[in-house]
Amino acid sequence: MARKTFEEAQQTRRRILDTAIRHCVERGYDGLSLADIAQEAQVTRGAIYHHFANKQAFFLKIVEELLGRMGAAILEAAEKAPNNWQALMEGCRTFLEVSQDSAYQSIILGQAPAILGTELWNRLDQEHTTDSLNSVLMNLETEGVIAIPDSQAAAEALSGAMNQLSRWVAAGHSLRTAWKTLELLLEALLAKKNA
């Protein structure tokens, strides 16, 4: 019985978050109404406060949820790759594709830095995407596949480039062109013997 209750609580939490994500995209943070979300998700406001302390904490959970989904999509793509180089390529390509989702564009790349502050936003982005990128780069450096002065600096540079390319594509430019450009940036990391 306890397991069913836990599963039901998780389903309720997911329903609340999915509704809140949609509201954030449509209305922005300022238009985020816990009462409206409760009504649409068919829960009480008490149920929302059971899962989330206040509006700011609620928004933070929305951001963490979307970043978590992105991290999971990247990991899934990378795990299918036959080697670390292909894992890097597939992970980066997946980021560009998945980041075109309207919720990711609006909330993660649009609202979150202003609402949470750049320091917290950078930390969250680091935890969910940049740290795994850094790990792959360190592995590739150890294998002698790439030659870089510092894996963390390279991860930060690539992360920034991908976020900007993501915005560029969302503004109506070609995803294919963005990927080809990113591919050239990645290939520039190759050690001369692998280039």
* 116-130 pLDDT tens trace: 999 999 999 999 999
Predicted confidence (pLDDT) per residue in 159-190, tens digit: 999 999 999 999 999 999 999 999 999 999 99
Contacts of 101 (CB under 8 A, 6+ apart): none
Tokens of 113: 């830095």
| Cα distances (Å, whole numbers) of residue 78 to 81, 117, 118, 159 | 5, 30, 28, 16
Percent of all residues in the chain with a pLDDT value above 70, rounded to a whole number: 97
Predicted confidence (pLDDT) per residue in 98-116, tens digit: 999 999 999 999 999 999 9
pTM for the model stands at: 0.90
Does 135 score more than 70 pLDDT? yes
pLDDT-derived band at 1, boundaries 50, 70, 90: very low
Q: How far apart are CA 108 and CA 106, in angstroms?
A: 6
Mean pLDDT across 125-144: 96
**Whole-number pLDDT of residue 176:** 97
Identify which of 110, 93, 118, 95 has the alpha carbon closest to the alpha carbon of residue 171: 110
Predicted confidence (pLDDT) per residue in 77-96, tens digit: 999 999 999 999 999 999 99
Average pLDDT, rounded, for the chain: 93
Tokens of 2: 């306890």
Q: How far apart are CA 83 and CA 128, in angstroms?
A: 21
The answer to whether residues 96 and 162 touch, using CB atoms and an 8 Å cutoff, is: yes
Contacts of 129 (CB under 8 A, 6+ apart): 67, 70, 71, 74, 95, 159
Q: At what angle do helices 84-98 and 175-187 cross, to 10 degrees?
A: 150
**Whole-number pLDDT of residue 52:** 81
CA 68 to chain centre: 6
User: Does residue 3 or residue 17 have the better pLDDT?
Assistant: 17
Q: How far apart are CA 18 and CA 10, in angstroms?
A: 12
